[in-house]
Amino acid sequence: MKILHLSHRSWPYHGGAERYVLEHAFAGKRWGHESVIGTTDAWDMSLFVSRSGARIERREDTLNGVRIKRFPVIHPPFQNVFRAFLRRLCECGQDRFFYPNPFVPSLHRWLSKERGFDLVHSNAMPFLLYEGWRYSRKHGSGLVSVPHAGIGEKYRSTKALQYLSGCQKKIMRNSTFVVAQSQFEKELYTGIGIPDERIHISGSGIDPAEFNASSRERGLKRLGVKGPVILSLTAHSLDRGTSHILEASRNLLKKGQDFTLIIAGPVLPDVDEYINSEKELAEEFGERLVLTGYVRKEDRIDLLAAADIVLLPSRLDCFGIVVLEAWMSGKPVIGCWSGVMPDIISDGSNGFLVSWGDAVSLLNRMEILLENPALGHAMGEKGRKDVLDRWTWEMVTDRFYRRLSQCCPDGSGI
C-alpha cells in the first residue's frame, strides 16, 4: 500500500505531533508499505500567520526510506480580509481558513494530480484533514483522520470546541477510521455522531533505546546549574500552563525552597508577553530561572536526566510525549486532568494531576516532591514500567497498522 502522511511540520523539527507522524511513516515500511510525508516548510508555528517565522529551506528529504516533501507557506496581501472571504465561499472554508491554518496552495495543487496513494493519513490541522478528505473522495482511497482535538478538561472544555463546528464532523464520519489519543477524545467524537467502532484509541510513544546514553551530569553542565531542577519541556503557551508554573514557582521560592526552574522549548508570544509584563520576575528568580529556547532531539534526554520533577499542567496537549520521556528517565511528573493524562497518570501513584490554572495545587505537589525525593523516584520507576509495557513506538504503531489491516485487508480504499 502507498500511504501519504499529511502533517503541518516534520523532520528535522522535533515535536510531539511531528514525531507521531514520522514514527508511523517509519513503521509503514516494517509493515510492507511505502510512505510519503507531505508537509509545510515551516520551522516556527508563527510562520503560519506571519512572515517572521523561520523556514526549512530544503524542499525534499529522504529519511530511513521515507520521502518528506515540503510545500511553502505563503502570505497573501490583506490576509485577514482574504481569509474572511474564503471562509464564506470555499468548501469547508470555516475550518480550513481560520487561524492558524496556513495558506499552502502548492500542496493543494500537488494533490490535485493523481499520485497513486491508497491511503491518506491526515493529521492535526483542519486544512490537512480537508486535503486528505478531498483526495480520498476523488480517488476512492482510504482515509485515516487524526484531529488531535486537545480542548481542555473533561468537564471544562475550551473554546476550541469551535474546531468541530464546520466540516470536521463530516470528514470524520467519512473516514475509514478516526484516531483519538485518549478516552476523553474518543467520547468527544462519539458525541458528534462518529460510530464507536470507527474510532481507534492510539496514543503516542517513545524509543527506549534513545535514553541509554542520557547523562544527568552532562545535562546539568549544559544548563549551567546544580540540582534540584524542575523542568517544563514543551512549546510554552498560556494554554500549556506556563504562567501557572511561573506563579507556583515564585511562591515556592518565597517559602524557602531551593531549586532551578527550566523553561525548555520555544516560548510562544502569549507567554513572552506574560514574562515581559511581570517586572519583578527576574529579580525574584535571579539565576534560578533558565529559558533554553528550542531543544534539539539529541539534547532532550540529558535535560530530562538532569530534572528532578517534570511538569506538564497543560489543557492543550492531546497526549504529551514528554510525560513518557520523563518516566523513561525515571522522573516523577505533574500533569493535568486533560487529554490523555488522566488515562495514563494514576494520581499519587506514578505522578500527580492538577486542574488547569490551579497554581496552588501545583505548588503543593511540587513541594511534596522536592521534600520527598524517594517518593519521586518511586513514581518515576512506576511510570517507566508503564512505558515499557505499553507506550513504545513499536507497540503504538503496530496497533495502528493492525487496525488498518482490518479495515483495508487487500490494501484498497474504504
What does the block give as the cell for 83?
Answer: 481569509
Does residue 57 or residue 412 have the better pLDDT?
57
Percentage with pLDDT > 70 across the chain: 95
Does 114 have pLDDT greater than 50?
A: yes
Contact predicate 304/310, CB 8 Å: yes
For the cut 90, the answer to whether the pLDDT of residue 409 exceeds it is no
* Correct CATH for 2-205+392-407 of 3.30.420.40, 3.40.50.300, 3.40.50.11540, 3.40.50.2000: 3.40.50.2000
- Residue keyed to cell 502548492: 106
Look at 68-82, 109-123, 149-163, 300-314 and tell me which has the smallest mean pLDDT.
149-163
pTM: 0.88
pLDDT digits (tens, 9 = 90+) for 42-52: 999 889 988 88
**The pLDDT of residue 160 is above 50:** no
**Which residues sit opposite 232 in a β-bridge?**
263
| pLDDT per residue as tens digits for the range 12-29 | 998 888 999 999 999 999
Q: Which three three-digit cell numbers place residue 35?
A: 510512505
Q: Where are the alpha helices (DSSP H) in 255-320?
A: 269-277, 281-285, 297-306
| CA neighbor of 129 nearest in space, from 15, 8, 242 | 8
Mean pLDDT value of segment 364-384: 97
pLDDT digits (tens, 9 = 90+) for 285-295: 999 999 999 99
Separation CA 404–CA 200 (nearest Å) = 10
What digits encode the pLDDT tens for the residues 118-148?
Answer: 999 999 899 999 999 999 999 999 999 999 8
Print the SS3 string covering 121-149.
Answer: EEECCHHHHHHHHHHHHHHCCEEEEECCC
- pLDDT of residue 413 exceeding 60, the answer is no
pLDDT at residue 161 is higher than 60: no
Residue 177 burial (CB count, 10 A): 24
The rounded distance, in Å, linking the Cα atoms of 183 and 338 is: 11
Confidence category of residue 155, pLDDT binned at 50, 70, 90: low
DSSP E strand stretches across 160-288: 177-180, 199-201, 229-233, 260-264
Quick one: average pLDDT of 321-334? 96
The residue ranges of every structural domain in the chain are: 2-205+392-407, 209-390
Neighbouring CB atoms inside 10 A of 295's CB total 18
Structure-derived torsion over alpha carbons of residues 274, 275, 278, 280, reported in degrees to the nearest 10: 170
Distance CA 82, CA 49 (A): 13
pLDDT computed for residue 15 by the predictor: 85
pLDDT at position 200 over 70 = yes
CATH no., domain 209-390: 3.40.50.2000
Asked whether the beta carbons of 253 and 370 are under 8 A apart, the reply is no
The three grid cell numbers given for residue 234, joined into one nine-digit string: 514543551
Q: What angle do CA 396, 215, 379 make, to 5 degrees?
A: 55
Partnered with residue 206 across adjacent β-strands are: 392
Same-fold call for 2-205+392-407 versus 209-390: yes
State the average pLDDT over residues 254-276. Answer: 94
The pLDDT value given to residue 95: 87
**What does the pLDDT read at residue 148?**
84
pLDDT in tens, 207-258: 999 999 999 999 999 999 987 999 999 999 999 999 999 999 999 999 999 9
Give the whole-angstrom CA distance, residue 385 versus residue 223: 28
pLDDT at residue 96 greater than cutoff 60: yes
Mean pLDDT (the chain) is: 92
